[in-house]
Structure 1
């Protein structure tokens, strides 16, 4: 039976995602009411430029006074799609103060201030839902937080940024350089005019912090995540990966230490074998590979961005928040009971692919091998090519701590016979 009293929703932001949320709330109104048990009413839409025409949104609902809308007192759920830290943080806290639950897609704010937001929600008996903050339409956070609540997650490995995946995919499939692939991504609307957040790994790092926190029941902040972008990935790196039977992806990797006493979270480009499920993720799609004790290996795949896909995740959270409002309950809050320390990148153990430009003369390979051995880094394979007194050494190592690799590279750079370290890339997914 559907209640007569509508649940009122305030929408903050009406851009690519917000406009789709407003549209779906209207077109799916009857279904939403049946699923929730009460009608859902869009009570107001806060935007920066209220004079701009917005199809599908009644003009009388549009306002530039976001604080006034949130603080009305009759709002049941606030949907925050502004992004960034402020004013989003202040508005979310104001929503909790007014007794409203919150649905957000704000990964940057959650990665920076998630614990404080969860605490505010709990203090006011409200919900904080954020499925759309990671991997768009892919149902990922709720399975981690609820479906796997009785299991032990050991590793989360994923492609969580569609822009960088598109660029790397184009570099591999067409032989384009980074700059050319970025231009294509921009022309197609996959990359912003300022792509820094994507290509330098900030977007993926925020998502990694959220994923690690949920997977390991530990507070992980953005500052805890090691971050590297794709701007230094070259066509030569792509070619080297192909020779190894690998492809290059920007990965978010969250791992529990083998002894279970700490966790790590990192974002960086890496070579993964072509046989790994993530290797076949093309274009701007996202995919996340989860490894758990009892469930084994799980993969979540789908569109990771875009107005309609992200709005789908927002609407799912909205339904959950409204059901809780109607029933007087709350959804799951923050789970950080494990409180595991987050280890620095230097303690991460993995394999490496290193390209060195060296003098082409006898004994150079042996000198370089000695440097690796001195730093405790074991060599798996070496490939050498040379011409006109110059040579390139491509070294693939066995598993070693990242700190040992850093020491090795610094020592190699100081060698007279090494003209430069052309590239360093980790090898994952084996």
Structure 2
């Protein structure tokens, strides 16, 4: 997907020269400006943009017309001319009016952070579902920008003769086409949601535990996924290397089978359009038995990245007050285990400190997905979590139901078996999750 300036028919292709600017607004941003600029560089690199320069500007009051002050706009325009930049990337959210005014003042194409992330997602979507989700988010984003996006706003169709009124303008036609397309995509995604729900129900009846990997983009989720499953999921040093979720069967200590899910990475200020469009995908996390939050412990903003991930999980009802509401409702939110990744990038002193800190917590495992160090410990910890709180149940199973007996041996610890007539009395130790799955299996 190319970046369009809809004031012309030109596209900004891979290799386009760009400058990145960021407005420091002191609105509670958890990162310093250097970290924000570096991340914005990474986002641009993810779609092959050639970033020539990056600069932060302190903005006391957001200007409704341009975000930046007039003097700062002049500096941005000068910077773009000096670097011969075709594109200005503003690492903030811009209103349609701000975007239009900056383009006019700087005489260059302008996209904001939301537009940039949407472009990355558009390029990376590999499945039909992913493409539909990105298109829906993109159309939602464009719908509010039609006022500034099109130049062919002259009357398109008039009434016949003197009748029929002034006719439909091009912008009205464009808006109608976008609404119609969005409605069609939503219907298709509703079907995807229903299909995913059926798949989740099937997994919960058959069952094996489901472990979902979540984390900030480029935290190493796919590398860890490949290490644990032997799969070959794309794992590169790029933001949003993984977009479409992947599931694989794995074996864990004490658990013959489990399902590991690699999900899309999160990022600060993730566009609300994307959260809405990808809700069907992200809700896979809700059905997991355990969430493994993969963190890049070597990143200077690791704590801020953690908070951003928890914010998105909170919107899904997995963390924060929403999770508490769920726990008071019909279902518990899955527990979260932190995997502190990229141990290999820490200095000896920092690695020692990280190990000491992790040793004092029962919800943290420190590791390097790249070298494999600590991955065995993560697998044992996951297995312990899956079987924590196991209870002994006395079950009566028809002796003809060999499949259920095999299932109990596979998912629990069978302590004794006593045949009584046409039934077997089986004492088995099961985790709460395994017993819930057994109950659903029995009902099915």
Provide the TM-score with structure 2 as the length reference. Answer: 0.28
Answer 1 or 2: higher relative contact order, Cα 8 Å, separation at least 6. 1
**Higher strand residue share:** 1
